[in-house]
Structures are given as structure tokens and as C-alpha cells.
Amino acid sequence: MLALLALGVALILGIGMRIATYGGTLLLLMLWSSNVPPTDNPLIDEHIIFIFALWGLYLIKAGHIFGLGDWWVKTGLVTRFPILE
């Protein structure tokens, strides 16, 4: 639940989008794989669609447009540890 909270805060604020995308993808893949055997279509599942949406937000740099992403990348913490971008 803490991972979901951290993912939601990162997406809402637009900070830490890179690590939120990687972590969110891993989290959603684990949630998707917990339903074995699948009851629905395994390729058109909400978890897979959310992964594509998450990567879409990361690739269009939505955190810089609608969030605090511009401010976040200029902080000393991010310049020291670029994975937090």
C-alpha cells in the first residue's frame, strides 16, 4: 500500500517520474501475474493498459507540463542522483 501511495504522489506532483514509472510497471506486472490462470483476456487487462498509460505519461514528460517536474530536476538531490528525475 505504501508503494501505491508513493506512486500516486509522484504522479500527481510530477516528481520522480522515472523511478515512479519503473516501480509502477513492476508493481502492475506483479499485480497482473497474481491472477494465474487469468479469468479474462490476459493481454487486454487493466493492469497492462495502466502500464502503457504510465509509460505514455513518462514519455511525454507530463510532470514538466502539469506538475512540479521543472522545479524538481533543478534541485540538488536530483542533480546528485539523476535516477530521481
Distances (CA, A) of 65 to 24, 39, 60: 20, 38, 9
| Type of residue found at 2 | L
Predicted local distance difference test score (pLDDT) of residue 29: 93
d(CA 62, CA 41): 30
Provide the residue-wise pLDDT of the chain in tens; the chain has 85 residues.
898 899 999 999 999 999 999 999 999 999 888 887 777 787 888 889 999 999 999 999 998 988 898 999 999 999 999 888 8
Predicted local distance difference test score (pLDDT) of residue 24: 95
Predicted local distance difference test score (pLDDT) of residue 40: 78
Query: What 3-state DSSP class applies to 31?
Result: helix
